[in-house]
Structure 1
């Protein structure tokens, strides 16, 4: 009997198993990289896919990505092709942020959680084409000269700051949102003025979901468009990673609620906040 008669998996199936393990359990990536040369080549491309500050819940930490870029061990094209989702912290060094964004131009989902973005970083941001964008962008409300090319493919926009000029809120915000021609999903913070909601929904026909971050249900907003949902957003980084991986994040929950509402499964039928009993 041949001692080498142990089962051998087809290469395609073997690759699918290892890549699936890396995606579902990112903490296994360091071990998977040591299995063999071919597995290393498969998994290394996944290693830098989703980057968060510490690497928790994701495939890579911010510092790991930074070291890889600065080591010059890989060409810029590698990072352009394989870094898909990037979460930038408020206190990350701006020079490092610029270096990362200059190289990782293929980012699909970007979280830029910092309220003060220096003007010299704007040209670098303008070269990106993300589909999902998180951050503090009120500073752009009056910057009509900012390259709108960054916004052209954004479908999901999560805002973490609002305008503090009540008398200018409606026209300024509508003008700002008009800079996102592909926008279908919009999340606004809890302090966002409820009076703006009907105006946004009326002016944004492509908008499918408008989420307001809120733990309160008594907003007294009746007969509102069924695209409007309020929910409490918990675990920001976890939600961001879940969305990057196509999981049941707050967008998915809001979509499920809207679908239930349209099937008349939500009572009272004018309710726009999610409750535990909804099973979403």
Structure 2
């Protein structure tokens, strides 16, 4: 009987990691193949972490906290494994007169977020001020290079001067109300945004005043290393489209923000925006 083929370990590892990347749903089954495969693939199980509730200690975040508290995993493991952290602070607290007590303490959140210190992409959705999220992240060593903030900008002013933004190269700022009329040249955080030392890509997602050339001019002139400024709106903006700057792209996208296919590594807003640009140029031509 012929012997079973034996792949070099590096090729075998590449095959399993590629499978985990392309088909994350099969990761739990891959972990059962062999001890060596478990060592290779277990970090992929934690590559994308969704933290979706402050009022219930459940889900992926709670599992990581338990692993840390029981010492079944070290913080260094999660620091190396977690690359995408999505934090949803959108509780229906107070509806129908019912108030839910927060189960997570600040100390537990600090332990969890510090363990995720190797995060590359951080998405914050909802009310970040209620739980002082930016301050919590600043107290950790987490310094992501992509931050996506989808907030209620009518009542929220994120402090972009905090050190959690120090390494940011790609920043998306979006309004969950999708009003197109929130930010203008008088926005209090404009100077801090201009002061981000590494910022190269900025997207304002349905939150900038559709007629404000002053805001756009201030961003283009004040952000020293900016390569790309994307303004995503519901409707055409002729006054902005007339601005002669190759770094500026105006994208018309009437779809809801999350009406996009999931990416292998979780929701990627830049991929969504790129798709909107492609749809726009397909319709109106590359020169539009």
TM-score (norm 2): 0.72
Per the alignment, residue 107 of structure 1 pairs with 119
Which of 59, 62, 66 is residue 66 of structure 1 equivalent to?
62
Per-residue CA deviation, residues 66-87 of structure 1 (Å, 9 max, x unaligned), is 2133133101111111111111
Work out the CA distance in 1 between the residues paired with 2:111 and 2:40.
26
1:30–1:10 distance in 2 versus 1, CA, 3 Å: same
- 2:121 is the alignment partner of 1:125: no
Q: Structure 1 or 2: larger helix share?
A: 1
- 2:149 is the alignment partner of 1:135: yes
Per the alignment, residue 182 of structure 1 pairs with 198
Q: Is the 8 A contact 2:17 2:41 kept in 1?
A: yes
Work out the CA distance in 2 between the residues paired with 1:175 and 1:240.
34
Shift of 1:6: 2.0
- 2:42 is the alignment partner of 1:44: yes
Work out the CA distance in 2 between the residues paired with 1:119 and 1:22.
34
Q: Is the 8 A contact 2:50 2:87 kept in 1?
A: yes
Shift of 1:241: 4.4
Instruction: Give secondary structure in 1 for the equivalent of 2:240.
Output: coil
Shift of 1:90: 1.9
Work out the CA distance in 1 between the residues paired with 2:183 and 2:236.
25
**After the TM superposition, which residues 255-270 of structure 1 pair with which residues of structure 2 at under 5 Å, given as runs?**
267=285, 269=287
Shift of 1:44: 0.2
Per the alignment, residue 276 of structure 1 pairs with none
Shift of 1:40: 0.8
Work out the CA distance in 2 between the residues paired with 1:242 and 1:209.
25
Shift of 1:168: 2.4
**RMSD of aligned alpha carbons:** 3.6
Per the alignment, residue 236 of structure 1 pairs with 258
Q: Is the 8 A contact 1:130 1:153 kept in 2?
A: yes
1:257–1:236 distance in 2 versus 1, CA, 3 Å: closer
TM-score (norm 1): 0.74
1:129–1:240 distance in 2 versus 1, CA, 3 Å: farther
Q: Is the 8 A contact 2:50 2:61 kept in 1?
A: no
**After the TM superposition, which residues 243-262 of structure 1 pair with which residues of structure 2 at under 5 Å, given as runs?**
249-253=271-275
Per the alignment, residue 18 of structure 1 pairs with 16
Q: Is the 8 A contact 2:148 2:171 kept in 1?
A: yes
> When the two structures are aligned, how many residues end up with a matched partner?
252
Work out the CA distance in 2 between the residues paired with 1:120 and 1:187.
23
